[in-house]
Amino acid sequence: MTRQELVARSTAQRAAIIAAAQPLLRTAAAPDRIIGYVRRYPAGIAIAAAAIALFGPRKILGAGTRLLTLYTLFRQLAR
State pLDDT tens for residues 19-57.
998 888 888 888 888 899 989 999 999 998 999 999 999
CB-based burial label for 54 (10 Å; 0-12, 13-18, 19+): exposed
Q: pLDDT value at position 71? A: 94
Q: pLDDT value at position 69? A: 95
- pTM for this model (two decimals): 0.49
Q: How far is it, in rounded angstroms, from Cα 35 to Cα 29?
A: 10
Residue 21 domain-assigned (yes or no)? yes
Q: How far is it, in rounded angstroms, from Cα 72 to Cα 78?
A: 10
| 25 in the same domain as 48 | no
Number of domains in the chain: 2
Residue 9 domain-assigned (yes or no)? yes
| 26 in the same domain as 45 | no
Residue numbers of the domain that contains 20: 1-30
Mean pLDDT of the 47-69 span: 93
